[in-house]
Amino acid sequence: MQVYKFGGASIANPVQMQQLLPIIQSVKTPLVIVLSAYGKTTNALEAIALTCKAKQIEEAKKLAKQLEQAHLDYAQKILSPDNFNVVFPHLNALFTELEWSIDDFNLLDFDYSYDQIVCIGELLSSRIFAAYLNQMQLATTWIDARDLIRTDTTYRDAKVDWEQTEKQVVAQCLPALQQAIVLTQGFIGATSDNASVTLGREGSDYTAALLAAMLNAESVSIWKDVEGLLNADPKQFKATKKIDLISYSEVIEMAFYGAQVIHPKTIKPLQNKNIPLHVKCFLNPDLKGTTIQNELAHIQYPPIIVLKKQQVLFQITTRDFSFITEDNLSKLYHVFHQLRIKINLIQNAAISFIACIDHEEDQIEALCNALQEEYKITRNENAHLLTIRHYDEVIIDELTKDTVCLLQQKTRSTIQLVLKD
């Protein structure tokens, strides 16, 4: 059995959805498909949630109607009239669910209300895709991921209840796989009270990994619009190199440092079951892609480069000249944790604590307010954080010329530099 995950770019329009058919037809084993919302649907739903937050309910309903019409147009382009009539009641039920979520929007619990709205995208796209596959004589069973993935109530970044989720996945997916392809949604789940949740960054990849681990899949394939994993972002760097084979731990390192690759929470379930993960190109399925698997002896990686822009370097100094040791570190970590601020690089001296974080003005203001009574705070803005794995001096010199280095940390395998142009 295999798990295929298709992202929003792969179904951005009806033509691209149709072009996925040969990829699916070529699979000779039972198949689970995990699908994202198409195109920019999640952004559109997020805009609806933010419009509700601004108390513009009628405007939010207008945006919802535009999204509804776009999905109906999409479905009509790809489905025969008879099949459109079959799927329309299911789509209409989801449009109604969206309208109810707008009417019931809770300004006091934005994260909860956000998830009730944003989850609709994957449900709509997967209903259309399931109808299309059945139309093309590929027997497909649509399953609501909210009936599979059980979570806690951490809305927008829900934590999965593994035991209960595994029971539901096995009970619903295994029987269906005997007769058909199983098609479900990435990114979403539900609490024990059946409230919709989203799983956070790269949630669709995570869903695919969970299902693969729970169903003991042979492999997972994530289909993207690139030829595989590259050693750097081609939008930022020239002459990037594709990596054919890479270990789970190396991908986790890349993600930790900010590379837009596979999220660590996706890797862990696969690593536990030793299930390889393939990154493939839906635009050219014949390309080899990249395989991510267990530790690989003697593999030589090219320099792996990650650049995070819009960084702020904070220096937090104790006002009473007390050392930055266990007590102060505990206080500081607690504040960062409470404000959900990720520290991208950290260093401390005798009485100062240095942290490099993303430039999010709301978070920065909250951080300063929380710390200013006990600590003196200075900051250096408009910085960027450069991380190079498997570096050499040539690549360091090349990537740091014409910059000022504010902070450097270096190990045998990794160098990180906070730079300003």
Q: List the chain pLDDT tens, one digit each, 421 residues.
A: 999 999 999 999 999 999 999 999 999 999 999 999 999 999 999 999 999 999 999 999 999 999 999 999 999 999 999 999 999 999 999 999 999 999 999 999 999 999 999 999 999 999 999 999 999 999 999 999 999 999 999 999 999 999 999 999 999 999 999 999 999 999 999 999 999 999 987 799 999 999 999 999 999 999 999 899 999 998 899 889 999 999 998 998 888 888 878 887 899 999 999 999 999 999 999 999 999 998 777 788 999 999 999 999 999 999 999 999 999 999 999 999 999 999 999 999 999 999 999 999 999 999 999 999 999 999 999 999 999 999 999 999 999 999 999 999 999 999 999 999 8
Q: Is CATH 3.30.2130.10 the right assignment for the domain spanning 304-420?
A: yes
At which residue do the structure tokens 């042979």 appear?
218
The DSSP secondary-structure symbol of 412 reads S
Backbone φ, ψ for residue 280 (5° rounding): -120, 160
Backbone φ, ψ for residue 32 (5° rounding): -110, 130
What is the C-alpha separation between 251 and 331, in angstroms, rounded? 31
What is the C-alpha separation between 279 and 226, in angstroms, rounded? 9
The bridge status of strand 31-35 relative to strand 2-6 is parallel
Confirm whether 2-224 and 304-420 share one CATH topology. Answer: no
Q: How much is the pLDDT for 215?
A: 98
Q: How much is the pLDDT for 137?
A: 97
For the structural domain made of 2-224, what CATH number should be given?
3.40.1160.10
Domain locations in the chain?
A: 2-224, 304-420
Through-space distance between the first and last CA atoms of the chain, rounded to whole angstroms: 50
Give 249-300 as a 3 state SS string: HHHHHHHHCCCCCCCHHHHHHHHHHCCCEEEEECCCCCCCCEEEECCCCCCC
Residues forming beta bridges with residue 281, ordered by sequence position: 224
Return the exposure string of 72-83: e unless at least 16 CB atoms fall within 10 Å of the residue's CB, then b.
bebbeebbeeeb
Phi-psi bin for 397: left (phi > 0), alpha (psi -120 to 50), beta?
alpha
The bridge status of strand 304-318 relative to strand 290-293 is unpaired
At which residue do the structure tokens 């209409």 appear?
92
Q: What is the DSSP string of 174-211?
A: HHHHTTSEEEEESSEEE-TT--EEE--TTHHHHHHHHH
